[in-house]
Amino acid sequence: MRALSKILPCLYCLPAFIFAFGLNLPCAFSQSGKGELRTVTLAQYRNLEYVALGDLAAYLNLRTFYSEKARKMILYVGDTEVKVTAMNPFVQIDDRMAQLPYEAHYADEDLLVPLHAFAELIRPLYRGTWPERLKKSTARDSTSATSSLTRAPNIVKIAVEGKTNGTLIRIQTTQPFARRHVSTRFSRGWMYVDIVGGKIASNAPTSIQGASIVKEVRPVQTGMVTQLSFRLEKEIDANQLNISNQGNTILVSLPTQEVVPEAVLRNLEMDRQKWRIDTIVLDPGHGGRDPGAIGPGGTKEKEITLQVALRLKKLIEKELGLRVVMTRENDTFIKLDERTAMANSAQGKVFISLHCNANKSRRVDGTTTYFLGPAKTDEALEVALLENSVVKYENENGGTAHSDEEFILTAMAQNAFHHESEGFAQIIQEEMQSLVGLPDRGVEQAGFRVLVGASMPNVLVEMAFISNRKEEQLLGSGETQQKIARAIMHSIKRFKEKYEQGS
């Protein structure tokens, strides 16, 4: 972590603030009297003072912990942990949440926070004499926050619609909002959706239609954040919540658990009890007119997925003595929903879809295993969109394309094997690590169409990046293909042992 004062102002300002605020320069450094606490002021917010947390901690003699991966910093103030996360206006103080007038910004391995608002948050926790420098009133912060109210409104309508399998909230905006600027929280029967940089129109209509679990909508504007509060009829599982952005609409979907009919649940329960993992469904991704991703050397994803699947089939049959059903055994095109339909009718007990990842950057590499669920990261969402794009080949044949929101709700309602799938994905990552050894990109969840509807634990393995020259070559080699097949075979063995032992 580098302290602000060690860096030249210009070098420091430019990249960080172009990133954070567009081109709203200039910003200016101020050096304040005897405390030597350096702050930056931002023209954008009427010279509201920002401070690098690292600098503030040093100034107050506080210990810190910083995670570059999570872009999160913890300040230890007295006995209290104060957690700040980049791009987030919420500060966690032990298990309490507080809100800053503006989000914290990431800048060069440090986080910037509005100085006075943040100082007020930690002042009651501080042991020792509070420095004169920080005794300024928070008036400046609130003035700046209020001044933002002169911005033009960009949130114009909120519509809540009850659907058969859940509730869909459409927040109509006049500009797209990055996913990271939308956050949610639940508290005492209310769901709060915070939109950083939002400004709600004073006459924005709100409506609730159909049988919805949302009973009331209340918009509140505080500084740079629009907070939409939704009173809920009953508690929902926060993990099932999904947010997606479609152009100028922010979609928030709240699936209702009861959409899975009780008879189906009973059957599932019975199935679970007599569950024996005896049939494995292998789904080599893509095929026929859908080549999948194509590597810089011309390797097609559809070829690799089939080659690995055929090797894996042999291994499973030979070493585990289990039945293997393949969704395709040659270069043919098969629709996504047909793949899971085949798996279900074959009474498969595990569904494994094999794929190769691709990225615009040729440098990106490694293995990721996905299971079905609402995407938690932008990267996971991108990969899902890429793999789902096969639907465009289906439409040539008159296949049905569900709208994305419908898809998201269905996906979550049907995912009765969430925990098993997650556990299985974890095992696969471990085995891939130890037997293939490509960089570990971890387990992720996302809404893959091919996984929707599979009535069994299901995963999608992105074995490696075909867009990376080195991994493209590895994927094409029989030796690596065999290692991957072996890793997945081992995973099935481990999963079977664990699952059948009684979970």
The dihedral of CA 304, 307, 311, 312: what is its sign? positive
Instruction: Find all residues with CB under 8 Å of 17, minimum gap 6, and list them.
Output: 24, 25, 27, 42, 107
The dihedral of CA 444, 445, 451, 456: what is its sign? positive
Residue with Cβ nearer Zn ion (283 or 387): 387
Residue with Cβ nearer Zn ion (255 or 285): 285
The count of other CB atoms within 10 Å of the CB of residue 246 is 12
The dihedral of CA 491, 496, 502, 503: what is its sign? positive
- 90-93 sheet: strands from edge to edge: 63-67, 72-77, 80-85, 90-93, 96-99
DSSP 444-475: EEE--GGGTT-SS-EEEEEEEETTSHHHHHHH
- Two structure tokens written together for 105: 């910004």
- Two structure tokens written together for 262: 């009780």
Residue with Cβ nearer Zn ion (25 or 385): 385
Q: Is 296 exposed, middle or buried (0-12, 13-18, 19+ CB in 10 A)?
A: exposed
Residue with Cβ nearer Zn ion (387 or 422): 387
CB of residue 324 vs Zn ion: minimum separation in angstroms?
A: 20
Q: Which stretch binds Zn ion (CB under 5 A): 137-145, 268-276, 283-291, 470-478?
A: 283-291
Give the one residue of 285, 295, 453, 457 binding Zn ion; rule: CB under 5 A: 285
- 225-232 sheet: strands from edge to edge: 182-187, 190-196, 225-232, 214-222
Q: Helices 115-122 and 139-147, interaxial angle, to 10°?
A: 130
- 440-446 sheet: strands from edge to edge: 323-326, 279-284, 350-357, 458-465, 367-372, 440-446
Instruction: Please state the length of the chain.
Output: 503
CB of residue 286 vs Zn ion: minimum separation in angstroms?
A: 6
Residue with Cβ nearer Zn ion (9 or 476): 476
Question: Which 412-431 positions form the footprint of Zn ion (CB under 5 A)?
Answer: none
DSSP 32-65: EGGGTEEEEEEGGGTTEEEEEHHHHHHHHT-EEE
Site string for Zn ion, 77-116 (x = CB under 5 A): ----------------------------------------
CB of residue 354 vs Zn ion: minimum separation in angstroms?
A: 8
Residue with Cβ nearer Zn ion (103 or 387): 387
CB of residue 430 vs Zn ion: minimum separation in angstroms?
A: 22
Q: Which stretch binds Zn ion (CB under 5 A): 95-103, 249-257, 266-274, 354-362?
A: 354-362
Q: Which stretch binds Zn ion (CB under 5 A): 21-29, 382-390, 476-484, 485-493?
A: 382-390
The dihedral of CA 321, 323, 324, 329: what is its sign? positive
Question: Which 185-214 positions form the footprint of Zn ion (CB under 5 A)?
Answer: none
CB of residue 460 vs Zn ion: minimum separation in angstroms?
A: 8
Q: Which stretch binds Zn ion (CB under 5 A): 81-89, 135-143, 236-244, 381-389?
A: 381-389
Coil, strand or helix: which one is 174?
Answer: coil
Q: Which stretch binds Zn ion (CB under 5 A): 228-236, 330-338, 353-361, 414-422?
A: 353-361
Question: Which 385-414 positions form the footprint of Zn ion (CB under 5 A)?
Answer: 387
Interface with Zn ion, residue 355, by CB under 5 A: yes
Residue with Cβ nearer Zn ion (141 or 283): 283
Give the separation between CA 142 and CA 149, rounded to whole angstroms. 11
Lookup result for tokens 């009850």: 162
CB of residue 462 vs Zn ion: minimum separation in angstroms?
A: 7
CB of residue 466 vs Zn ion: minimum separation in angstroms?
A: 9
The pairing of beta strand 242-246 with beta strand 155-163 = unpaired
Q: Which stretch binds Zn ion (CB under 5 A): 191-199, 206-214, 384-392, 490-498?
A: 384-392
Chain-centroid distance of CA 158 in Å reads 23
Residue with Cβ nearer Zn ion (39 or 305): 305
Residue with Cβ nearer Zn ion (292 or 453): 292
- Two structure tokens written together for 171: 């927040």
Residue with Cβ nearer Zn ion (58 or 294): 294
Interface with Zn ion, residue 449, by CB under 5 A: no
CB of residue 479 vs Zn ion: minimum separation in angstroms?
A: 22
Q: Which stretch binds Zn ion (CB under 5 A): 16-24, 347-355, 434-442, 447-455?
A: 347-355
Give the separation between CA 74 and CA 67, rounded to whole angstroms. 9
Q: Which stretch binds Zn ion (CB under 5 A): 85-93, 142-150, 291-299, 395-403?
A: 291-299
Give the separation between CA 407 and CA 484, rounded to whole angstroms. 31
Closest-by-Cβ residue to Zn ion is 355
Q: Name residue 474's amino acid.
A: L
Residue with Cβ nearer Zn ion (91 or 488): 488
Number of residues that bind Zn ion (CB under 5 A): 4
Interface with Zn ion, residue 284, by CB under 5 A: no
The count of other CB atoms within 10 Å of the CB of residue 415 is 24
Residue with Cβ nearer Zn ion (255 or 292): 292
Give the one residue of 89, 101, 287, 292 binding Zn ion; rule: CB under 5 A: 292
CB of residue 301 vs Zn ion: minimum separation in angstroms?
A: 5
**Across-strand partners of 162?**
167
Residue with Cβ nearer Zn ion (42 or 326): 326
CB 225 within 8 A of CB 237: no
Q: Which stretch binds Zn ion (CB under 5 A): 97-105, 209-217, 349-357, 412-420?
A: 349-357
Q: What are the residues binding Zn ion (CB under 5 A)?
A: 285, 292, 355, 387
